[in-house]
Chains A and B, each alone.
Chain A
Amino acid sequence: SLAASFAETVVDDTDAPGDEEEAYAAWRLRELARMKRDLDQQQQRERDQAEKLRRSTLTDEQILAENRRDPELADRFPTKPQRMA
Chain B
Amino acid sequence: MVYIRADRMDLSQKSYHGTNPMNLIPKIMRERIFNSLYWKERCFGLNDADVVDRAAEITHIGGTYGHTNTATPFICLALKLLRSPNRETLIAFIDQTHFKYLRALGAFVFRLIAPSADIYNYLEPLLIDLRKLRMRNQEGEFYLSFLDSFVDELLTETHVLGVPMPTLVQRHVLEAAGTLRPRDYPLYGEEEEEAERASATGAGALAQGD
Residues of A within 8 A of B (CB): 4, 7-8, 10-15, 23-24, 26-39, 42, 45
Contacts and interface: CB of A to CB of B under 8 A. Distances in A.
Interface of B: 59-60, 127-128, 130-134, 136, 142-144, 146, 148-149, 152, 172, 183, 185-188, 190, 192, 194-196, 198-199, 203-205, 207
Given A10-B142, A13-B144, A36-B192, A29 B198 contact: yes
Given A31-B186, A33-B198, A13 B148 contact: no
Q: Do most interface residues of chain A lie in helix, strand or loop, or is the interface mixed?
A: helix
A77 to B, nearest CB: 19
A7 B148 contact: no
Contact of A26 (B128, B152, B207): B207
Contact of A28 (B133, B136, B187): B187
A30 B199 contact: no
Given A12-B144, A36-B198, 16 more contacts: A7-B142, A11-B142, A13-B60, A15-B131, A23-B130, A26-B146, A27-B128, A30-B149, A31-B127, A31-B148, A31-B187, A33-B199, A33-B205, A34-B152, A35-B185, A37-B199
B143 A11 contact: yes
Contacts of B60: 7, 11, 13
B144 A30 contact: no
